[in-house]
Amino acid sequence: LLMRADLSRFLQEGGQLLAMAASGSQDLSLAANFATRVRNAWQGFRGEDHDGPSLHLQPLYAGTMKIMLECQDVLPLAVCMDPKNPTTELGSITRVRTEDDCHRVMDWIAAAHQRGTGITTVYHDAEDDLLTNIRAAISR
């Protein structure tokens, strides 16, 4: 109740609260063989060692981080609407002051998603060559 009163007062004074729910790409579905090769290469590149499905959350970009930093307070939310693994986990209101704070919010969302679904969930805090190459291959 104390948090609710503080939040209400904060919002009445013109403050903002940004709710963040990440989107990700799960098991690329171009062609089964290509998706398997890409997934295996991705896991090897990242040092991951698992056989099950995985969800990869793309990096936050400058515009998203700018919005987060301008709002200052972020409410992290992990959601999976897949009927096989439904989950919703609401985090604590988090003050973000730096880009690292923004990335920590995304790390929390990834961990909460993984806890709730059992699906390996990885937040990529920066573009890497493999991600860039995969996007280029998909766009062709």
Q: What is the largest CA-CA distance in the chain?
A: 55
- Whether residue 5 is contained in a domain is answered as no
The answer on pLDDT for 31 being more than 50 is: no
- Whether residue 114 is contained in a domain is answered as yes
Domain extent, residue 121, equals: 16-139
Q: Rounded to 5 degrees, what angle do the CA atoms 68, 74, 77 make?
A: 115
Q: Given this model, what pLDDT does residue 88 score?
A: 92
- pLDDT tens readout for residues 41-72: 666 666 665 567 888 888 888 888 998 998 88
- Whether residue 135 is contained in a domain is answered as yes
- Whether residue 34 is contained in a domain is answered as yes
- Whether residue 42 is contained in a domain is answered as yes
- pLDDT tens readout for residues 92-120: 999 999 999 999 999 999 999 999 999 98
- Whether residue 3 is contained in a domain is answered as no
Q: Given this model, what pLDDT does residue 30 score?
A: 41
- Whether residue 79 is contained in a domain is answered as yes
Give the total number of structural domains in the chain. 1
